[in-house]
């Protein structure tokens, strides 16, 4: 899984995909210079995660999935929805709680 996510990194283009794991909490930090590449990365990371989970006989819970977008929140959700990713669009949030801390634009 880690190798597949590492292949998405393109530092020269400002693209970074990094897993963050602590006990039973996990996140994937994605940095992108633009909204189009961000949406593409979100969908590619989700596909990689679904394939990995299937390979190890697990299922990802879309109900528990949260996508924190610190800028372009509504735009990202709209593009995901327009591209047929309703579940991912519904997961986009302006703030989330991770490891007991609230992550938001502030």
Q: What tens digit of pLDDT does each residue of 5-35 get?
A: 999 999 999 999 998 888 878 889 999 999 9
**Cα separation of 88 and 77, whole Å?**
8
pTM of the full structure: 0.88
Taking the C-alpha atoms of residue 26 and residue 93, their distance in angstroms, rounded to an integer, is 17
* Residue 35, domain extent: 2-103
Residue 65 has pLDDT above 80, yes or no: yes
Phi-psi region of 97 (alpha: psi -120 to 50; beta: other; left: phi over 0): beta
* Average pLDDT score over residue span 89-97: 93
User: Does the pLDDT value for residue 91 go beyond 90?
Assistant: yes
CB 97 within 8 A of CB 89: no
Structure tokens that stand for 103 in this block: 């992550």
Give the chain's domain count.
1
Q: Is 65 left (phi over 0), alpha (psi -120 to 50) or beta?
A: beta
CA distances, 76 to each of 24, 25, 46, 50, 81 (Å):
27, 24, 15, 20, 9
Residue 48 has pLDDT above 80, yes or no: yes
């Amino acid at each position: 899984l880690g190798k597949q996510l590492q292949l998405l990194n393109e530092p020269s283009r400002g693209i970074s995909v990094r897993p963050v794991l602590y006990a039973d909490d996990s996140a994937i930090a994605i940095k992108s210079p633009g909204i189009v590449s961000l949406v593409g990365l979100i969908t590619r990371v989700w596909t990689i995660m679904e394939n990995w989970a299937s390979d190890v006989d697990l299922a990802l819970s879309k109900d528990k999935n949260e996508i924190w977008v610190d800028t372009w929140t509504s735009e990202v959700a709209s593009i995901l929805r327009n591209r047929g990713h309703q579940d991912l669009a519904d997961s986009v949030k302006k703030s989330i709680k991770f490891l007991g801390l609230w992550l938001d634009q502030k």
